[in-house]
Structure 1
Amino acid sequence: MTVLYHITTPSPAHMANLVLLLVCLGAGALLRRAQLVPSGAHAVLNQLIIVLLLPALTFLHLAEARFDQRFLLPMLMPWLIFGVGWLFFAALGRQLRLARGTVGALILTGGISSVSFVGFPIFEALYGKQGLELGLVMSLAGSVLVSVTLGVVVASWYGAARPSWRGIGANLMGFPPFLAFVAALVAQAVGYRHPALVRGVLEKLSAPFPVVALLSVGMQLQFRVPAGRGQMLAWGLGYKLLLAPLVVWALYVGVAQQHGPAVDLCLLGAAIGPMNTAAVIADRYGLDPPLAAQMVGLGIPLSLPLLALLGWWLH
């Protein structure tokens, strides 16, 4: 069976995501540098994200989500690179004797891709409507779900001086996006559909999420790499941008012998820079927030030429 690839023009709305991403990161950094916002303003934004915006986003999309077998590979990919990243950075932390917070920050930001902001316009440009549909599943059932479940587990474990499963359970139950995920599972089980009024409210509540999250990351972003931090960034971005797509290629193509647009999109998705929500969670749990912010702020721009090269190679 021959698969015909095609290149389409991404919609203005999805191209705007890329521009918005860079503008918000730069605006956040400028606001902090010019002292136009109080010190610690990002912590207020992060609290707003965790308590209100991310729960609304999670329930809005996951309560009505329906997936079938053709979405399996894109759904699994984010869980795969997060799990492998967890093992990789845990071993690296033991080898280099890194602080627990640093290891946790690397796992979170090195293991979760910013699929929605960076991936959607690229997927749509390369594979049209099919690419966008697969990207939505990769984001909702993958990146978003990983961040509000395993992401909180990692944050709780590495953010505590003496971690325990009871403490992790308490953190999960006290994490509003996770509670929204549980509510979405119940809604799916009973065949729930959003009434027009509920959908409208959830859409308006979640709409500011990307801007607020990116501004928060930008406020924490330091473009100058402090002495001694370059090695950590190199390891973190090396895994996120290079090793993660190699892992996906080895398992999906080399071992499972899978081919086609879904596999290509998984390779592209694995190579996307870190998700901004990961840096927000890292900051909430005190996991080396400056490193987490730099992983996002530097990783996303660095991933763009890599994605262009990878997209050309896949075609």
Structure 2
Amino acid sequence: MGLIVNALFPVFGVIFIGWLLRRSQLLPEDSWGPISRLAYLGLSPALLFTAIYRADLSSISVSGFMLAALLGFLAMAAITLAIKPLLRIPDPTYTSLFQATARWNGLLILAVAGSLFGEEGQVLVALIMAASIPLVNIECVAVLSIWGDGSRPDWRSILYRIATNPLILGTGAGAAANLSGLTLPVALDSTIGLIGQAALPLILLSVGAGLNFTAMKARPRLLGLSVLLKLMLAPLVFYGIGVAMGVQGPALTVLLLTGASPGAASAYVLARQMGGDAPYSAGDITASAMFCFLTIPFWLALLG
């Protein structure tokens, strides 16, 4: 348990500092959006590139591990679709519930896995991110196109944005460089690595700054359901699939963490764009981030 606390305390501590910084108004309120965008889209690709480029991929059973992760995402989508007839809620609100259970904050889990397992943990999370970003986005857009407020998606534009997602590009470039045996000049490698080192602190600060406890007043009972599905059921689903497929060691723990991840801010953005329940999405992002402080240590102590 001490190892878990030592690994998680810095991650959650930086998130708390981000919340304090926003409350202190040390920075203008509207500055946190650009900071978050810089961290996620500007710096994180360098972090993912470096993690994959420097990794010994031969030591990781990539195919079974990644298949288990994708099956986990598909299983959670199937479960959420199966319970729709039981929920007496407007269709746009259901789309936000679906996003709450389907999406995950991969970069936050990257920080947690890095604290636990070092570079190996970061590589494992980066691989899941590269595989899951297209799948999860297509799932969520499809659900919103059916049950949103009637707006229809531009699939060509959506697929283009997925294909040009900086996180996917960073991971893909790192994998290509690794598998091709390319050796970067030391100066270039060090520069990219230095840029990547700045990503996680800014990401965690942005997560803390984005906590909006007022938003949790929107549909509190439904928030309880989405948090229960995401933070209590999903870890068991991902872990169970991993065990069934023979995944072991740090890879199995990373699958557990993937299921235990809180929701992602992109759910709020897409809900606004395609007619979901944006206030509910905002509340879920905060609620899942807050309660994961308790559930992630719980699952790691129990199964990790």
TM-score normalized with structure 2 length:
0.74
Deviation digits for residues 149-176 of structure 1, max 9, x if unmatched?
Answer: 4345456657783224312222124432
Deviation digits for residues 183-238 of structure 1, max 9, x if unmatched?
Answer: 33443453323332222111111112111111112112134663343334323332
| Structure 2 residue aligned with 1:104 | 99
What is the distance in 2 between the residues matched to 1:90 and 1:40?
A: 36
Identity of aligned residues (%): 23
Matches within 5 A, 1:146-295: 146=131, 148-153=133-138, 161-188=151-178, 190-223=180-213, 226-253=216-243, 258=246, 261=249, 265=253, 268-270=256-258, 272-274=260-262, 278-279=264-265, 281-282=266-267, 285=270, 288=278, 290-291=282-283, 293-295=285-287
Instruction: Give SS of 1:206's match.
Output: helix
What is the distance in 2 between the residues matched to 1:137 and 1:75?
A: 12
What is the distance in 2 between the residues matched to 1:227 and 1:297?
A: 15
Deviation digits for residues 241-282 of structure 1, max 9, x if unmatched?
Answer: 3222332454444x55x485468536643553337xx33x44
Pair 1:75 & 2:61 matched: no
What is the distance in 2 between the residues matched to 1:180 and 1:259?
A: 26
Q: 1:261 to 1:240 in 2, by over 3 A?
A: same
Q: 1:147 to 1:284 in 2, by over 3 A?
A: farther
Does the aligned pair in 2 maintain the 1:273–1:301 contact within 8 Å? no
Instruction: Give SS of 1:226's match.
Output: helix
| Structure 2 residue aligned with 1:21 | 11
| Structure 2 residue aligned with 1:297 | 289
Gaps of 5+ in 1: 1-6, 125-131
What is the distance in 2 between the residues matched to 1:91 and 1:113?
A: 29
What is the distance in 2 between the residues matched to 1:148 and 1:30?
A: 30
Q: 1:159 to 1:44 in 2, by over 3 A?
A: farther
Alignment root-mean-square deviation, CA: 3.7
Pair 1:117 & 2:105 matched: no
Instruction: Give SS of 1:55's match.
Output: helix
TM-score normalized with structure 1 length:
0.72
Shift in Å, 1:305:
4.1
Q: Which moved more, 1:19-28 or 1:81-90?
A: 81-90
What is the distance in 1 between the residues matched to 2:139 and 2:194?
A: 30
